[in-house]
Amino acid sequence: MRIETNDALVQRNRRLSQYLFFGTLGVLILGFVLVNGQAFFPQLDTQTATLVSFVLPLVVLPVSFIFTVLSIRMTNLWMRVPRPEKVLDDNLKGIGKQAVLYNYYHLPARHVLITPAGVVAMVTRYQNGRFTVKGEKWKAHRSPVGQLFSWLRMDGILDPTVEANVAAQHVDKLLADINPDVPVYPVVLFTDPRAELTIEAPTVPVLYVYNKRFPNLKDFVKSLPKTEHVLTPDQIAKFEAKFMRG
């Protein structure tokens, strides 16, 4: 299997995550100083102290909230381990020389796998814990305390089924002028080894990335029906030329 990873995007977003983290700390410290302006700057006159203590925080606090949300979101997506591209590499070994895995080139499809049986458009979930999917409905099994911490970490499961379908539709559009008949399969993929899934008649395949878990991605790919509408090497080259920009 050949692997192509958008390393420039990964590194750029990792740096941005770090900048946002330190920027958030800076804004919070600034807010603390402004709220206590009279204590830090006793030489200020009453009118200026009032402005610093009460008016400016009205601007700083919303900015700090936005920075915090962006920082947590970026950290979850680009800094958390295990990294999806790493575990995909580890667990798809031996899938075949014709397979090609693309990481972060075709967002919102974070990972795209070309195989002799078609194309797999994957969205990932890094969350651990217990989750149930029945058809299109998802439920996270957490205690009230766990729900609180999940809210603080902003790591709710959201709706992976919808995201996977959107990702597959996006890849399908990219292939429309190259090979419109190649099948594109949406997949929801869990990358944390601690995740525990209860899966009942899902409308989109829900899989573990790890080969020792069931159902897993490698078994799913091997079970796909062969198709005559496979992407040829020339079509793969055309796909890469058009859609593999950092």
The predicted model scores a pTM of 0.88
pLDDT at 52: 66
Residue 161 and residue 188 in contact, taking contact as beta carbons nearer than 8 Å: yes
Co-location of 118 and 154 in the same domain? yes
β-pairing, 137-141 vs 118-125, is: unpaired
Are 215 and 190 contacting, i.e. CB atoms less than 8 angstroms apart?
no
Measure the CA–CA gap between 31 and 23, rounded to whole angstroms: 12
Q: Specify whether 67 is located in the same domain as 108.
A: no
* Domain end (from 78, 109, 140): 78
Name the DSSP class of 216. B
Q: Which residues pair with 125 in a beta bridge?
A: 190
104 and 69 both lie in a single domain: no
3-class DSSP state of 210? coil
Count of structural domains within the chain? 2
Asked if 133 and 193 sit in the same domain, the reply is: yes
Cβ neighbours of residue 50 under 8 Å, at least 6 residues apart? none
- Same-domain check for residues 129 and 142: yes
pLDDT at 47: 67
> Which tokens in the block code for residue 41?
């700057």
| Same domain as 70, residue 98 | no
104 and 207 in a single domain? The answer is yes
Give the separation between CA 88 and CA 189, rounded to whole angstroms: 10
Cα–Cα distance for residue pair 179/236, rounded to 1 Å: 10
- Across the strands, what pairs with 123? 188
The answer to whether residues 71 and 190 belong to one domain is no
| Same domain for 94 and 53 | no
* CA distance linking residue 121 with residue 9, whole number of Å: 19
Averaged pLDDT in 10-residue chunks for the chain of 246 residues: 96 94 83 64 64 70 84 91 96 94 97 96 95 96 80 84 98 97 97 96 98 97 92 96 82
Same domain, 120 and 225: yes
pLDDT, residue 79, reads 93
Long-range contacts of 9-12 (CB under 8 A, 24+ apart): 9/104, 9/246, 10/78, 10/85, 10/103, 10/104
Please check whether residues 33 and 130 belong to one and the same domain.
no
pLDDT for position 111? 98
Residue 200's domain comprises 81-243
Q: How large is the greatest C-alpha to C-alpha distance in the chain, in angstroms?
A: 80
Give the separation between CA 115 and CA 113, rounded to whole angstroms: 6
Place of tokens 């900015």: 63
Q: Of 78, 101, 133, which residue constitutes the final position of a domain?
A: 78
The residue from 78, 102, 136 where one domain ends is 78
**120, 106 contact by CB (below 8 A):** no
CA-to-CA separations, 203 to 124, 135, 200, 233, in angstroms, rounded: 16, 5, 9, 31
Determine the Cα–Cα distance for residues 245 and 235; give it in Å rounded to an integer: 17
12 and 96 share a domain? no
